[in-house]
Amino acid sequence: MHALGVSPLLIAKTFQAMGIPSSTRSTVVCAAKGPRPRYPRVWKTHKRVGTINKAAKLVETIRQLSNVKEEVYGALDSYVAWELEFPLITMKKALKTLEDQQEWKRVIQVTKWMLSKGQGRTMGSYFTLLIALAEDDRIDEAEELWTKLLMQYMESLPRKFFDKMISIYYKRGMYDKMFEVFADMEELGVHPNLTVVQVIGSVFKEVGMLDKYEKIHQKYPPPRWKYRYVKGGRRIKVKVSGQPYQGNYREGNEHANANGEPNLDLDDNDTSEETSELEEVDEQFNQDANARTMESKQISDDSFETKESVLDV
């Protein structure tokens, strides 16, 4: 019987016809099927659009619309429709841009739309909405939002919300409601800052409640020390100079205006004195540093001399 087999010459011609390259530089070795040619990629990478550009595009689109609620909400819905996740960072940056441009109506519309979607329910969003409502003279809605937040987050509500409501009522002469907010602060144990104490005290004095005027300053005296940041990120303790209320609370303090109203820009009055104090503190730090370096050098020299004496022995 003749053995059935394939001649080696036929095998060589078959490999030549297939055109398999002899070099393995342009091939990828596969454990299962041997070497195969590397094919070029069929996709292309495009440059990604950042959140800043997206926020700028969104602001430009919103500003071209009218003040109709349905139109603005429809544009925002169409913007989010193609996103896999809610673009919270883009919306926050767009709100910041609108706030800087004082587009308060747009800020209110975008914030309310975002809250209706269940997104961005943070204290920052609520505070932005409160500021926008106050700037747009929608006091009723601002009071409604304030009451809702106070009932829901009673003991964890930040102090800046109380300060903002006191400022809103003070600018509009609504002193009774301002006293109610201040009473809520005292009941919840929220310590007011110096500006709020001055504002409440000036209103007490204007109304004629001099006993409460003295009580509030006795209960919340001005701080004697405060912290300042100098070069290098260091925090130093600086004594407050020219305190507005001392002794029996003088009438003509240097932090009050001609009308008897408190000056809210307290830091601007003491800039020269504080800068001189900061310079003195910096000089003292430098002197201490130089003294420490001299001591370290002296210690190193003494140790070197002791080593030499030991070696000589």
Confidence of residue 251 (pLDDT cuts 50, 70, 90): very low
Q: What average pLDDT does range 196-209 have in this prediction? A: 93
Which domain range does residue 99 map to? Answer: 50-121
130-151 residue pLDDT tens: 999 999 999 999 999 999 999 9
Residue 240 has a pLDDT of 83
Confidence of residue 211 (pLDDT cuts 50, 70, 90): very high
End-to-end CA distance of the chain: 106
Residue 264 has a pLDDT of 43
Three-class DSSP category at 235: strand
SS3 labels along 127-146: HHHHHHHHHCCCHHHHHHHH
128 contacts 114 by C-beta, under 8 angstroms: no
CA angle 51, 87, 76 (to 5 degrees): 105
Q: What average pLDDT does range 72-76 have in this prediction? A: 93
Q: Is the residue at 195 inside a domain?
A: no
Amino acid in the structure at residue 191: H
Residue 274 has a pLDDT of 45
Looking at mean pLDDT, say which of 21-30, 95-104, 228-237, 248-257 comes out highest: 95-104
Residue 282 has a pLDDT of 54
Indicate the DSSP class of residue 4.
Answer: P
Sign of the four-CA dihedral 213, 214, 219, 224:
positive
Q: Is the residue at 140 inside a domain?
A: no
Q: Which residue has the higher pLDDT, 19 or 122?
A: 122
Asked whether residue 310 carries a pLDDT value surpassing 50, the answer given is no
Q: Which residue has the higher pLDDT, 1 or 176?
A: 176
161 contacts 127 by C-beta, under 8 angstroms: yes
Give the Cα separation of 109 and 195 in Å (integer).
32
Indicate the DSSP class of residue 170.
Answer: H
Q: What average pLDDT does range 111-139 have in this prediction? A: 94
Q: Is the residue at 254 inside a domain?
A: no
Residue 229 has a pLDDT of 87
Both tokens of residue 176?
Answer: 């009774």
Give the Cα separation of 192 and 185 in Å (integer).
8
Q: Is the residue at 61 inside a domain?
A: yes
Q: Is the residue at 226 inside a domain?
A: no
**Among the ranges given (1-5, 159-163, 221-225), the one the predictor scored with the smallest mean pLDDT:** 1-5
The number of distinct structural domains making up the chain is 1
Summary mean pLDDT of the chain: 76
pTM above 0.85, yes or no: no
Amino acid in the structure at residue 76: L
Q: Is the residue at 63 inside a domain?
A: yes
Residue 231 has a pLDDT of 83
Q: Is the residue at 85 inside a domain?
A: yes
Q: Could you please report the per-residue DSSP string of 180-232?
A: HHHHHHHHHTPPP-HHHHHHHHHHHHHHT-HHHHHHHHHHSPPPSEEEEE-TT
Q: Is the residue at 160 inside a domain?
A: no
